[in-house]
Structure 1
């Protein structure tokens, strides 16, 4: 994990069984330290789970996860090695096999996008968050 006040925090999330739980927990810990409100934390943690899952499932690569605080909230960015952009699917509510990712992303973020990054892509989302003033705040 690397940390810088202007760069945010970045870490590698490997394709491993405990990776999702670890990514959610470290995200929750960092945002709590930054003083993000509970609703913002829950939204960011859910988006981290969705974006990392999609990078692993569809990109078939490890993912680089980045959190960066701003005046209005938190930017979440996940990089993978697959250049193909995400594809909107109709949610499969019967079998529960997916299709909700982009819908969740749109609902929880104030804006989001996809951009080329290295040989792959970066999917990012800006998530509203109210910050309390604490010693660890951004």
Structure 2
């Protein structure tokens, strides 16, 4: 049996992994992001991208209530990298802008907004994707 890959319009593969909704999954997601960005020679974006995926996974774990989550790292174009976390809940994420008292948690989307060039949510019939985009240098 021969397996062939369908080329993407931008020529870049996507990276994705299905994970259990556990706090430990953030480490696996960070590794996936690091692998993708290193393959695309975008080393300068790795730290921000890993922080972003950590927050998106934490939100999916805390609020998603799904049996599984999916992390996707893709290049929708030569100049953008997209990090997305998919769950099966249609509830939109809410960015907290209050100080949240002395609580350490609850401001992850503020961090996502600060580290990414843009972010958003795509609703699907079966759930949602929360994503963040980072502007990158086209590969040589």
TM-score (norm 2): 0.80
Measure, in 2, the Cα distance between the counterparts of 1:34 and 1:55. 26
Please report how far the alpha carbon of residue 51 of structure 1 lies from its aligned counterpart in structure 2 after TM superposition: 0.5
Measure, in 2, the Cα distance between the counterparts of 1:95 and 1:20. 20
What number of residue pairs does the alignment pair up? Answer: 129
Measure, in 1, the Cα distance between the counterparts of 2:40 and 2:129. 24
Counting only pairs closer than 5 Å after superposition, residues 109-124 of structure 1 correspond to structure 2 as 109-124=116-131
Query: Of the two structures, which has the highest relative contact order with CA contacts closer than 8 Å and spacing of 6 or more?
Result: 1
Please report how far the alpha carbon of residue 118 of structure 1 lies from its aligned counterpart in structure 2 after TM superposition: 3.7
Cα RMSD between the aligned structures? 2.1
Name which one, 1 or 2, has greater alpha-carbon Rg.
2
TM-score (norm 1): 0.81
- The match for 2:106 is 99
- The match for 1:86 is 93
| Deviation larger for 84-93 or 50-59 | 84-93
Q: Which runs of 5+ in 1 are unaligned?
A: 134-138
Measure, in 1, the Cα distance between the counterparts of 2:51 and 2:118. 16
Conserved in 1, the CA contact under 8 Å of 2:19 and 2:25? yes
Match among 27, 38, 58 for residue 21 of structure 1: 27
Q: Which runs of 5+ in 2 are unaligned?
A: none
Q: Does 1:108 align with 2:115?
A: yes
